[in-house]
Amino acid sequence: MHHPFRVLLALALVATAGCSPPADVPPPTEMAESIEAVHDWVMENESALKEGNPARQLATLDATLDLIAHRYGEKSVEMTQAVRDTGLMLIGNDRYDLAEPYIQEALLLSRQVFGHDHRETGYALHDLAVVRDKLRPETFSIAAEPLLVEAIAVRRRVLGLEHLETAGSEAALSKLLLASWRRTSRDDPHSELLTQADQFAAHSLQVLERAYGNDQSEVRDLRYRQVEIALAKQEYARAESQAQDLIVKHRQPCNDIGSPQSAQQLRIAALRGAGRDADADTAEAARAKDECSPIALLPETMRAILEKAERRSL
């Protein structure tokens, strides 16, 4: 049953929205501008989601979408945004399960409204792949991987091989391929999953580092992933060299968004894999046990403040 005030508010918005015509479909290389009125209309429901069980609010969300479809058309730029914004709102409330049908519908509408080869459709493909993998990682090869592969293909055709959005999908796919290998093929260092993960990680790293520089978090995460892939492929010399580069060349001994292991721990694993146990023992003895603890990852000034406050409390 819909809240009468919200339905009246939505009807009022339909009446007042008549002054703005439906948005035009942008060229394939451009994104559609976010329409503030549509976004605000969808977000009117967020407080109700936070107040109770989100599943009980789906009828209200769908009623809002029906009104937006009535105002702008079922296959319009505005309706595509409204469905996507609804899914993202549910994701923001940690309900990926409820969001999936909306994100799936957003992809369907993107294909119909913008076309298969469009920047918007590339985003919609990527979004649905991430949601599906979050919900059912064990079905990655049939539920998520084809979507990311298509997103990369669309972005390469529309935006080019060196575009940041292309690299973003490549980075995501490399991460999910490695995770899939860990679930299904851990005993096979020659798995095609690892080969593809390696290729996508290498290319996306080049593009992202050129755009963002050496110290950006995604760049650092990809470097760590390359070491993990090299270890999985039993390419121990390469893994040891890349881990050493993280420590000495890039000055990135810790990764705060990806690998729970430090660069030194990954280097030690590579040394042991290569049978260099004496070198691994020496590195282990020299390693600070808390080198990548949360406090060790803080900037120097903030770390000093916290340590000083901790001493005062003793």
User: Could you tell me if 194 and 233 are in contact, meaning their C-beta atoms sit under 8 angstroms apart?
Assistant: yes
- Whole-angstrom CA distances from 293 to 179, 262, 266, 296 are 24, 10, 16, 5
Give the helix/strand (H/E) hosting 5. Answer: helix 4-16
- Closest C-alpha to 148, from 178, 162, 168: 168
Q: At residue 71, what are phi and psi to the nearest 5 degrees?
A: -75, -45
CA distances from 134 to 100, 163, 179, 261 (A): 10, 25, 12, 22
DSSP string, 234-271: T-HHHHHHHHHHHHTTS-----SSS-SS-HHHHHHHHH
User: Could you tell me the domains of the chain?
Assistant: 1-159 (1.25.40.10)
- Kindly state the tokens that stand for 142: 């049939």
Between CA 63 and CA 294 the distance in angstroms is 45
3-class state of residue 272 by DSSP: helix
Neighbouring C-alpha atoms within 13 Å toward the C-beta of 280: 15
Whole-number Å distance between alpha carbons of 69 and 64: 9
Contacts of 22 (CB under 8 A, 6+ apart): 72, 73, 76, 77, 78
Contacts of 193 (CB under 8 A, 6+ apart): 177, 178, 180, 181, 184, 185
Q: What's the angle, vertex CA 91, arms to CA 119 and CA 123, rounded to 5?
A: 5
Cα–Cα distance for residue pair 90/67, rounded to 1 Å: 19
Count the Cβ atoms, other than its own, within 10 Å of residue 275: 10
Contacts of 70 (CB under 8 A, 6+ apart): 14
Separation between Cα atoms, residue 269 and residue 236, nearest integer Å: 8
Residue type at position 204: S
Categorise residue 30: left if φ over 0, alpha if ψ from -120 to 50, beta otherwise.
beta
Torsion angle of C-alpha atoms 193, 194, 195, 199, degrees rounded to 10: 110
The pLDDT, as a whole number, for residue 255 is 87
pLDDT of residue 144: 95
Q: Residue-wise pLDDT tens for the chain (314 aa)?
A: 344 444 444 445 544 444 466 789 999 999 999 999 999 999 999 988 887 788 888 999 999 999 999 999 999 999 999 999 999 999 999 999 999 999 999 999 999 999 999 999 999 999 999 999 999 999 999 999 999 999 999 999 999 999 999 999 999 999 999 999 999 888 899 999 999 999 999 999 999 999 999 989 999 999 999 999 999 999 999 999 999 999 999 999 998 776 678 999 999 999 999 999 999 999 999 887 666 865 444 444 444 443 444 443 33
Dist CA 246 CA 224 (whole Å): 8
